[in-house]
Amino acid sequence: MKKLKLVMIGNGMAGVRTLEELLKLSNELYDITVFGAEPHTNYNRILLSPVLAGEQTFEEIVLNDLSWYLDNNIKLLLNRKVVEIDRVKRRVIAEDGSEAEYDRLLIATGSTPFILPIPGNTLDGVIGYRDIADTQAMIDTAKTHKHAVVIGGGLLGLEAANGLKLRGMDVTVVHIGEWLLERQLDKTSGQLLQTALENRGLKFRLCEQTQALHDAGNGRVGSVQFKNGDIIPADLVVMAAGIRPNTELAEKSGIPCNRGILVNDTMQTYDPRIYAIGECASHRGTAYGLVAPLFEQAKVCANHLAQLGFATYKGSVTSTKLKVTGIDLFSAGDFMGGEGTETITLSDPIGGVYKKLVIKDDVLVGACLYGDTADGGWYFRQIRENHGISEIRDHLMFGENALGDVGHQGQDKAMSMADTAEVCGCNGVCKGTIVKAIQEHGLFSVDDVKKHTKAASSCGSCAGLVEQILINTVGGAADVKPKSEKAICGCSDLNHGQIRQAIRDQHLLTIAGTMSYLNWRTPNGCATCRPALNYYLISTWPGEAHDDPQSRLINERAHANIQKDGTYSVVPRMWGGVTNPSELRRIADVADKYNVPMVKVTGGQRIDLLGIKKQDLPGVWKDLDMPSGHAYGKSIRTVKTCVGSEFCRFGTQNSTQLGIELEHDLFNMWSPHKVKLAVSGCPRNCSEAGIKDVGIIGVDSGWEMYIGGNGGIKTEVAEFFVKLKTAEEVREYNGAFLQLYREEAFYLERTVHYMQRVGMEHIKKAVLEDPERRKALHERLKFSLSLEQDPWKQRLEQPQLKKEFEVIPVKNLEVPA
């Protein structure tokens, strides 16, 4: 097939990200040509301020070097500004006369600094702050001149002023507004910021308008004159009074523009062959100037360029962060408030802390933080997820940590941590390593950080901390999304919710069918998506969809737990943690016969045989003659019990019996993540029911049921769910809740995280308030489990399944000489 010709005008972050996304989808569709006006490959424009401040070098902020373009067969034409688009003949023409024909054109010309229309604005020493050339001009001027004036007290202006000050200049910031950063801050926090910057030696002139720039007599600017007549010296004037979408070329070519090139939800302009993206594009009346929305646009645009045609862009909620080292400032969403909104404010001017939260209809819609921005990421997530906050309103101001036990997830620690402090305890990664990787490789998401540093890639408990470090390092550019919005993996752009829904709505029954229906990018997925799809299929269509052992990770394929040396651990089931002499004898005999190096009692009241070779597994199971304990699966694990009223002098209920019954009820249950239960016979709660997915506590008048507890990575206390009279009721309510979880949770989402996502109200509505629905849920669970068999027994009886455990015998194996 002959390739189509794709031409991109502009070589900046939004455009190149679109190409990256496109190449992920298809590298065979297009011959790609890129025109860049600057002499550089794509670099991280948002890190120009750290370069100006001397904290990073130009080399460090390059995102794609020449070899990237070469490797992807992209023809890169640098230093060539495109001056004409000939839409009839479908070609673009650059200043130097070079031309390129296109089938699809992508305009990513970005924006230009707004240069005030005042006398003297073309003098030497008057610049915008936009690219490497501007930054270099500032660095050079700081070496030879003294006085700098920055016009504009927005993010860019303040970053420029801070950098110039650090490079030794005397800097005055002129701002037309009443306070600094009026688009990001309210008045109080703006004033706090001003005081902090004044303490660093910056000068400010607020509510001031510039009237003219005067020549020093040599063609270079020498002073600035204000409307009120004041004149101050200036050897350098930086115009940072806003940016304008760079639409000149588009307008000249007759493409409709209105403060940006007009695009629809698929990033197409009025000429369907031409797309526009990034700061030059106007989507539903907004031209975004921050990088995170541009990346979202890039994904959508790439999807259409790749001729998939299902992604749409609906606009973005944005957050910003000032990149001035030592000053913490964060704002997101609608932080100014207005009609129909309420605000909660915390103000400590002496301590330099100010926080404002804006709430509308019980939903957090905006946040503005100064001085303590540790919870910025969390607030941003709340805003994007649209959660009702009425239940946590009392504590909202105090951040995520105020909501309960903190464990060691530690979101608030990111800023104060030393570079040498360990962030990821599993893989031994410290903060400095993560920050360095983010800066050097231009990383924007936690997944990128995982890949490059291994941090948060094992148990994941530090993911929150890594996210905070990411936000602190790249600010609003950080791609932080809740799991409910994130793509399942690199194989698809769809998130877990969309995939679950498609499987249900379209009655999809196989992994291959699902991948083909949902346009998977890879022929058979990867180790992330296949186990998830397998679970979604068998839980949605029990009896119709068939389990695919090859799409399960090894523990669920071998039905034992792999250890670091490649051996396995075997945990036989002991219902409710109760055993007897005959079982114990068999376990002892197995341990002798197979030379088991360690026999250990687990936290879940079971016996673990560790260090068993894979080929011995079937023999061990046969000799044990006990059912699988499922200690290896995303499945029912154990029901822990105390001895209860049968023996205990305090026991009020027969907790052991109920535990055994519940464990039989749930035997062979696969679930989104592991599920652990406990039953206690009295409120002393010796079985630790408060930290289980479902915890039952016997009281004199019946049973209390708690849900969503977790004793692992981050301790979570289970929440009270319902008080019931009989053991029969407990079994029904328990089955209904777990079936709801099985049907609605995302793969690898524990009950606590599922609960946090959908809300307790939702679960109560389904299980408590509607008896019909509760019974139906319980029935569906029973039906589903009626089709399952003990996996150990199954493997002993079916030779085909036993193959997995056998070594292929081969004779005459010799290494060639």
Contact status: 551 vs another protein (CB under 8 A): yes
Cβ contacts of 705 within 8 Å, gap of 6 or more: 694, 695, 696, 720, 721, 722, 723, 724, 730, 733, 734
Of residues 557 and 764, the one with the C-beta less far from another protein: 557
Using rule CB under 8 A, residue 648 touches another protein: no
Q: Which is nearer to another protein, 97 or 809 (CB)?
A: 809
From candidates 523, 581, 592, 649, binder to another protein by CB under 8 A: 523
Q: Closer to another protein by CB, 2 or 564: give it.
A: 564
Binding string, 317-336, against another protein, x = CB under 8 A? --------------------
Stretch of 82-90, 312-320, 380-388, 803-811 contacting another protein, by CB under 8 A: 803-811
Nearer to another protein, 88 or 527 (CB): 527
- Hey, which bits of 53-161 come out as E strands? 74-77, 82-86, 91-94, 99-101, 104-107, 111-113, 126-128, 147-151
Residue 810 beta carbon to another protein: minimum distance, rounded to whole angstroms:
5
- Give min distance, CB of 524 to another protein, in A: 5
Written as one string, the DSSP assignment of 416-449 is T--TTSEEETTTTEEHHHHHHHHHHHT--SHHHH
15, 377, 531, 542: which one contacts another protein (CB under 8 A)?
A: 531
Report the residue from 451, 483, 762, 802 that binds another protein according to the rule CB under 8 A: 451
Q: Name the minimum Å distance from CB 556 to another protein.
A: 11
347 scored as a contact of another protein (CB under 8 A): no
Query: Does position 522 bind another protein by CB under 8 A?
Result: yes
461 binds another protein (CB under 8 A): no
Is 526 a residue that touches another protein (CB under 8 A)?
yes
Which residue's CB is nearer to another protein, number 632 or number 703? 632
Is 525 among the residues that bind another protein (CB under 8 A)?
Answer: yes
Closer residue to another protein (CB): 526 or 699: 526
Candidate segments 164-172, 459-467, 525-533, 755-763, binder of another protein by CB under 8 A: 525-533
Nearer to another protein, 77 or 562 (CB): 562
Cα separation, 806 vs 613, whole angstroms? 11
Interacting residues with another protein between 588 and 627 (CB under 8 A): 614
* CB-based contact 278:296 (threshold 8 Å): no
Q: Determine, following the binding rule CB under 8 A, whether residue 210 of this chain makes contact with another protein.
A: no
Q: How far is the CB of 435 from another protein (least distance, A)?
A: 16
Q: Is 28 in the site for another protein (CB under 8 A)?
A: no
Binding residues for another protein, how many (CB under 8 A)?
37
Catalogue the E-assigned strands of 206-341: 210-215, 221-226, 231-233, 236-239, 243-245, 261-263, 274-276, 281-283, 319-321, 329-333
Task: Render the burial of 668-682: b for 16+ CB within 10 Å, e for the rest.
Answer: bbbbbbbbbbbbbbb
* Both structure tokens of 545: 């969809």
Does residue number 445 form part of the binding site for another protein (CB under 8 A)? no
Scanning residues 392 to 421, which ones bind another protein (CB under 8 A)?
none
- From candidates 2, 314, 564, 649, binder to another protein by CB under 8 A: 564
Beta carbons within 10 angstroms of residue 122's beta carbon:
10
Q: Which is nearer to another protein, 385 or 447 (CB)?
A: 447
- Decide if 162 contacts 142 (C-beta within 8 A): no
Nearer to another protein, 416 or 550 (CB): 550
Burial 169-199 (b: 16+ CB within 10 A, else e): bbbbbbbebebbbbebbbebbbbbbbebbee
Q: Applying CB under 8 A, which of residues 199, 550, 580, 582 lies at the interface with another protein?
A: 550
Q: Give the whole-angstrom CA distance, residue 164 versus residue 171.
A: 7
Q: Which of 177, 233, 407, 549 touches another protein by CB under 8 A?
A: 549
C-beta closer to another protein: residue 267 or 429: 429
Of 452, 606, 640, 795, the one binding another protein by CB under 8 A? 452
3-state class of 178 per DSSP? coil
Continuous H helices in 344-416:
376-385, 393-396
**Residue 452 beta carbon to another protein: minimum distance, rounded to whole angstroms:** 5
Confirm or reject binding of residue 558 to another protein (CB under 8 A): yes
Shortest reach from residue 614's CB to another protein, in Å: 8
Q: Which stretch binds another protein (CB under 8 A): 89-97, 140-148, 552-560, 686-694?
A: 552-560
What's the CA gap between 731 and 550, in Å, rounded?
33
CA distance 479 to 477: 6
CA distance 709 to 493: 32
813 near another protein, judged by CB under 8 A: yes
How far apart CA 722 and CA 407 sit, in angstroms, is 26
How far apart are the C-alpha atoms of 333 and 183, rounded to whole Å? 11
- Give start and end residues of each alpha helix (H) in 411-567: 431-441, 446-453, 463-474, 496-505, 511-517, 529-540, 554-558
Shortest gap between Cβ of 745 and another protein (angstroms)? Answer: 22
| Residue 418 or 808 having the CB closest to another protein | 808
Interface pick for another protein out of 1, 88, 418, 527 (rule CB under 8 A): 527
Residue 666, helix vs strand vs coil: helix
Judge whether 422 and 428 are in contact, CB under 8 Å: yes
Length of the chain: 817
Question: In this structure, what DSSP letter does residue 526 have?
Answer: -
Asked if residue 25 binds another protein (CB under 8 A), the reply is no
With contacts defined by CB under 8 A, name the span among 7-15, 554-562, 667-675, 735-743 that binds another protein: 554-562
Q: Is 524 in the site for another protein (CB under 8 A)?
A: yes
Helix (H) or strand (E) holding 570: strand 568-570
**Is residue 83 near another protein by the rule CB under 8 A?**
no
- Do the beta carbons of residue 377 and residue 688 sit within 8 Å? no
CA distance 551 to 532: 9
Binding status of residue 390 toward another protein by CB under 8 A? no
Name the site residues for another protein (rule: CB under 8 A): 451-452, 457-458, 522-527, 530-531, 549-554, 557-558, 562, 564-566, 614, 803-804, 806-810, 812-816
